[in-house]
Amino acid sequence: MVSVAAAIAERATALLSVLLAAPGSDLAAAIREAKVAPIRAATRERLRLITGDDTDLTARADAGLAMVLLHLMVHRSPPDEQHLRSRILPIMTGDTGPT
């Protein structure tokens, strides 16, 4: 996830501006197909390797990516490994700690 967060941060500004400003445009559709879809698929597959075939796999993967993007927009930097491990990955994996 650290490498995914860094990759998103590297390209995020220009891509996010198109996706947010003109979500229905042909350019936004091309960005979703060429850039967003592969990241979503890779994240989903990595998560599947950790959690198995979970019925909420897509939602959990998307939630993790959304939290990375939100962190990037709020803090102007990708989340570090400690933040990913303590805040984002537990939500993605469903590991909320001791009960």
Domain residues for the domain of 45 are: 2-93
Within-domain flag for 6? yes
Query: What is the domain count for the chain?
Result: 1
Q: 12 CB contacts (<8 Å, ≥6 apart)?
A: 69, 72
Residue 23 forms part of a structural domain: yes
Query: Does 86 reside within a domain?
Result: yes
Which helix (H) or strand (E) segment holds residue 4: the answer is helix 2-21
* 43: number of Cβ within 10 Å: 21
34 in any annotated domain:
yes
The reply to whether 99 falls in a domain is no
Q: Please list the pLDDT of the chain residue by residue as tens digits (99 residues).
A: 777 777 777 777 778 888 889 999 999 999 999 988 999 999 999 999 988 887 789 999 999 999 998 998 899 888 999 999 999 999 999 886 665
Residue 58 within a domain: yes
